[in-house]
Chains A and B, each alone.
Chain A
Amino acid sequence: MITRRHLLSSAGAGAAMAGIGLWPRLLEAQAAPLNLPAALPAGTRAEAVLETLPGKKPLIKLSQRPPNYESPLEYFRNAITPNDEFFVRYHLSDIREVDAGKWKLKVGGEGANGEAEITFDDLKKLPAHEITAVCQCSGNRRGLFQPHVAGVEWGYGAMGCAKWKGARLKDILDKVGLKKEAIEIVFNGADGPPLPKTPDFVKSLPVWRALDESTLVAYEMNGQPLPHLNGFPARLIVPGWTGTYWMKHITSLEAVTKPFGGFWMNPAYRIPLGKFPLVSRFTSQDTAANTPITEMVVNSLITSPMDGAKIKAGSTIKIEGIAWDGGYGIRVVETSTDGGKTWTPATLGQDLGRYAFRTWSVALKAKRGKNAVMARASNAIGQTQTATLIHNPAGYHHNVIQTLTLTGA
C-alpha cells in the first residue's frame, strides 16, 4: 500500500504540515448549472462540477488532486482571460507555495559555458518584454474524442489568453553562454511527484525555440504577479506552442548536447509523425514513429450563444467567438448555416498580436426550427480546421469544426 509519505519526507514536518493546510482549499461548491458538452464521457459529465479554488472564480473541476480545473465557456467572451478565470492544470500533486524572496533559477548544464543563479530581483532587472499569448493544454478537448482516449477528459476550457511580462529566456541563457554543441534546454519547476519513483515533470525545448525572442520567463500575468496555481513566481512562456512547455514555478535551466530522455518528453506528449500539418517542429526528439507535440493547430470556439439555446425565429442573432493558432495569425473565420456548403466570413475583432485570441462575430437570421451553425478558422499560412477528427492515442490537437444547434421558435 502507498501512503502520502512524500508530503512529510522532503521538506521537514513543519513545512509539510503547513502545506496540508494551504492546499487544496475549496472554498465552496457552486450550484450554477453546467453546460458540459454532450460528447464528454458519461463519467466525466457526472463528476465535473463548478468549484472555487483560492483566488479563482468558479472553474469546472475535473480532478482535485492533482488539480485540473477548466474555464467555463462564458469566460472566453473576451480576448483576454482574467487571472481568476484562468484554467489550472498539474500532472503531479506536490505543489508547494514558493516564496519569491527565496526563489532561485539555476542556469547551467553540460551544454553551457558556465553556471549562474538568478534571484527574483535579478530576473526583474533584465530587460522586460510583454506578449499576449494563448496557453492551451495539449489535451484540450480530449473529452470530445470518439472513440474516447484515457486522460484528463477536458472539454473546451483548458486554455486561456493573457498578457505575459518577463525576461527573454535568451537573455537569461546569455548569462552563462551556450556551447555550439548545445541542442536542447531542459527545465524543471518547483512542483513535484507524490512518490519518489514517479518521474518529475521535466521538459525540454530545442535551442532555437529557447532563443526565440517570444520565449519568456514571465513574472507578471495581466499586470499582476502570477497566481500560485498558474506558476508563481515565474513560469516559462512559449507562445504558439502547447502548454506542456510552459513550465510553472520554474527553477532550473540546463543546456544539453544530447536529446533529453525524460518520461515527459518520451513517451509522454507525443503525436504520430506526419498526421498534423505542423511547421514548427522539435526534430532532435523524433523517433521513427512519433514526434513531440509542438505548436497549436488553428482553432476556433463559439462563445455565444450556448449550444442548444432557444432563439427567436425571424430575429437577427449575433454569433460570437474566438480563434487562435500556433502564431501565424488568424486570416479569416467563416460560419456556415447549410452544413458547410457555403461559408460567410465573420468580422474579426481587435488584433492583440499573432499569438493571442482573436475575437470574431457574425450576424445570423434565425430560422424557425433547427439552426445548425458551424465555424471554422484559417490562418495566415493557409491552414484550416479539420472537418473530421485526426485521432491520435493521447488525444491531442482536437480542432474539429464546431457545430452549434440552436432552436428557433
Chain B
Amino acid sequence: MRTIIFCAIAALTTFPAFADEKPVQLKQAPGLEQVENNCGACHTLEYIQMNSPFLNAAGWGGEVNKMIKAFGAPISEADARTITDYLNKNYGG
C-alpha cells in the first residue's frame, strides 16, 4: 500500500508538490531541471535566490557537497556537477 502510493506520488512530482506551496521560478537555463528535482525535494528553491549573488563556484560547490555529505541527499555526481554549474552561472557572484 505504502509503496503503491509512494510510486503514484513520485510519478506526479511536479512543483509545488505541497498543496499550498507557491512555486518558485528560478532562471530558465540548462541544469534547472536537475536543480528542481534534486534541491526541491528537501527545500523550496528560495534558498537559492536568498543566497545570491555572493557565492562563487567554490562556494556553490561547497553548498552542493554539504547537501550530499552532511544532509544525505542522493544526488549523482553528474547531477551535482550540473547543479553547481547552474548555480554558479545563474546565481553566482
Contacts and interface: CB of A to CB of B under 8 A. Distances in A.
B42 A63 contact: no
B92 to A, nearest CB: 11
Interface residues of B, number: 40
Interface in A12-64: 12-13, 20-21, 23-26, 29, 41-44, 46-48, 61-64
Interface stretch (A75-83, A145-153, A362-370, A396-404): A145-153
A43 B49 contact: yes
B2 A9 contact: yes
Interface in B1-48: 1-2, 5-6, 9-10, 13, 17-22, 24, 37-38, 41-44, 46-48
A195 B68 CA distance: 11
Interface in A124-167: 147-148, 150-153
Contacts of B1: 13
Contacts of B17: 4
B54 A3 contact: no
Contact of B53 (A9, A42, A150, A193): A42
Contact of A41 (B18, B41, B51, B71): B51
A13 B71 CA distance: 25
**Chain A interface size, under 10 / 10 to 19 / 20 to 34 / 35 or more:** 35 or more
Contact of A1 (B18, B37, B44): B37
A199 interface: yes
A93 to B, nearest CB: 7
Interface in B42-71: 42-44, 46-55, 59, 63, 70-71
Nearest to A151: B51
A13 B49 CA distance: 33
B55 to A, nearest CB: 6
A156 to B, nearest CB: 16
A8 to B, nearest CB: 5
A194 B72 CA distance: 10
Nearest to B73: A2
B86 interface: no
Contact of B13 (A4, A198, A267): A4
Contacts of A26: 20-22
A341 interface: no
A76 B91 CA distance: 33
Nearest to B66: A150
A13 B4 CA distance: 10
A153 B50 contact: yes
Given A2-B74, A195-B72, A64 B22 contact: yes
A43 B52 contact: yes
Contact of B42 (A9, A21, A194): A194
Contact of B50 (A5, A12, A44, A267): A44
A65 interface: yes
A63 B43 contact: yes
Contact of B9 (A3, A46, A64, A198): A3
A3 B49 contact: no
A46 B45 CA distance: 13
A197 interface: yes
A50 to B, nearest CB: 13
A41 B50 contact: yes
B27 to A, nearest CB: 11
Given A13-B5, A199-B70, A199-B71, A2 B46 contact: no
Given A47-B46, A47-B49, A66-B43, A8 B2 contact: yes
A62 B2 contact: no
A44 B50 CA distance: 4
A148 B49 contact: no
A263 interface: yes
A63 B13 contact: no
B20 A25 contact: yes
A150 B46 contact: no
Interface of A: 1-5, 7-9, 12-13, 20-21, 23-26, 29, 41-44, 46-48, 61-66, 93, 147-148, 150-153, 193-199, 263, 267
15 contacts: A1-B79, A7-B9, A20-B19, A21-B19, A23-B18, A24-B20, A26-B22, A43-B50, A44-B50, A65-B44, A66-B43, A93-B43, A197-B72, A198-B73, A263-B70
Given A41-B50, A47-B24, A64-B21, 18 more contacts: A2-B38, A2-B73, A3-B41, A4-B17, A7-B9, A8-B6, A20-B19, A43-B49, A43-B91, A47-B49, A64-B24, A65-B18, A66-B43, A150-B55, A194-B41, A197-B72, A199-B71, A263-B70
Interface of B: 1-2, 5-6, 9-10, 13, 17-22, 24, 37-38, 41-44, 46-55, 59, 63, 70-75, 79, 91
